[in-house]
């Protein structure tokens, strides 16, 4: 797995406001979108392209276009949904599929409660969106699932990760090719497996309290 931390003053600035517990949901959603655009720019550097012949008003030229099949963006519900709009703005011709996964806050077991993806992901570059990589359980499940469906390549875009989660991910997906893009790697997990200092529960901060 290749881990890329996007080291940029705009990312650091926006992330600081996002972490602040006094930042209201409306601003949190807006900042999430802006951060995803910045991370998404880096994360899409490696998307497959092909030449395209065009005619400008002045001459013919060989330009570039995204290769088909286009990348498939997969937000992990709920919190990943807050990252979708920013990513789609960066790659408007990409397709979108959905994975609904929730971690049981007591047992930390992962439940997949929704899935709306193409049955066959052969040849697809999948870009997974989830703001938080805590224990890594969710992302390990998601990545394995996508590769089992035939994905050719998986890129994950997260806002924050705990070192424990990165380690578990590395072991859990050994042998699978994954690029992980992050705004920051935090200190650790607390006793409830929340990221410290983190930003709290991303789903709750985006959308209000979960049932
Ligand atoms: O690395 P892990 O320990 O698996 O935890 C990370 C997961 O926890 C959060 O989702 P949550 O389960 O809270 O669901 P939600 O988005 O519906 O709030 C987050 O968005 C990740 O999906
Ligand atoms: O810190 C954390 C850990 C898991 N999920 C979150 O939303 N936040
Ligand atoms: Mg949550």
**Sign of the dihedral through C-alpha 73, 77, 79, 84:** positive
Q: What is the CATH number of the domain that holds 62?
A: 3.40.50.2020
Please name the residue that has the structure tokens 């919190």. 79
Q: 71-104: per-residue pLDDT in tens?
A: 999 999 999 999 999 999 999 999 999 999 998 8
Q: Is residue 80 part of a domain?
A: yes
Kindly indicate whether the ipTM for this predicted assembly is greater than 0.95, answering yes or no: yes
Q: 141-200: per-residue pLDDT in tens?
A: 999 999 999 999 999 999 999 999 999 999 999 989 999 999 999 999 999 999 999 999
Give the side-chain half-sphere CA count within 13 A for 46.
16
| Size of the chain in residues | 211
Residue from 114, 106, 89, 99 nearest 154 by CA: 99
Structural domain total, the chain? 1
Please name the residue that has the structure tokens 């997990």. 189
Minimal-distance CA residue to ligand 2 atom 6: 201
Q: Is residue 211 part of a domain?
A: no
Q: 9-57: per-residue pLDDT in tens?
A: 999 999 999 999 999 999 999 999 999 999 999 999 999 999 999 999 9
Query: For residue 103, what pLDDT is reported?
Result: 87
**Sign of the dihedral through C-alpha 144, 149, 154, 159:** negative
Domain assignment of residue 118, given as a range: 2-206
Q: In Å, what is the CA distance from 112 to each residue of 77, 102, 117, 196?
A: 10, 7, 13, 25
Q: Is residue 68 part of a domain?
A: yes
Q: Is residue 144 part of a domain?
A: yes
Ligand 1: which of 83, 171, 182, 202 to mutate, most ligand atoms within 8 Å of CB?
202
Q: In Å, what is the CA distance from 188 to each residue of 1, 23, 42, 131, 164?
A: 20, 22, 25, 16, 7
Query: For residue 208, what pLDDT is reported?
Result: 84
* 62 against 105, higher pLDDT: 62
* pTM recorded for the entire structure: 0.95
Query: For residue 211, what pLDDT is reported?
Result: 47
Ligand 2: which of 25, 77, 168, 194 to mutate, most ligand atoms within 8 Å of CB?
194
Q: Is residue 125 part of a domain?
A: yes
Q: Is 202 in the pocket of ligand 2 (CB under 6 A)?
A: yes
Alpha-carbon gap, residue 185 to 162, rounded angstroms: 6
């Amino acid at each position: 797995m290749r881990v890329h931390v996007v080291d940029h003053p705009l990312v650091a600035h926006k992330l600081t406001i996002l972490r602040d517990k006094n930042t209201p949901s409306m601003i949190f959603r807006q900042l999430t979108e802006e951060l995803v655009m910045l991370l998404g720019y880096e994360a899409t550097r490696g998307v497959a392209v092909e030449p395209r012949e065009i005619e400008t008003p002045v001459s013919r030229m060989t330009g570039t276009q995204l290769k088909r099949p286009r990348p498939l963006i997969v937000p992990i519900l709920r919190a990943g949904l807050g990252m979708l709009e920013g990513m789609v703005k960066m790659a408007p011709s990409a397709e979108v599929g959905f994975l609904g996964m929730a971690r049981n806050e007591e047992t930390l077991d992962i439940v997949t409660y929704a899935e709306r993806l193409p049955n066959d992901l052969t040849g697809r570059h999948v870009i997974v969106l989830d703001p938080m990589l805590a224990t890594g359980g969710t992302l390990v499940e998601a990545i394995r699932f996508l590769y089992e469906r035939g994905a050719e390549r998986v890129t994950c875009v997260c806002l924050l990760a705990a070192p424990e989660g990165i380690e578990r991910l590395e072991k859990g997906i050994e042998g699978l090719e994954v690029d992980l893009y992050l705004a920051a790697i935090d200190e650790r997990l607390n006793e409830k497996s929340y990221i410290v200092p983190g930003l709290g529960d991303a789903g709750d901060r985006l959308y209000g309290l979960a049932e």
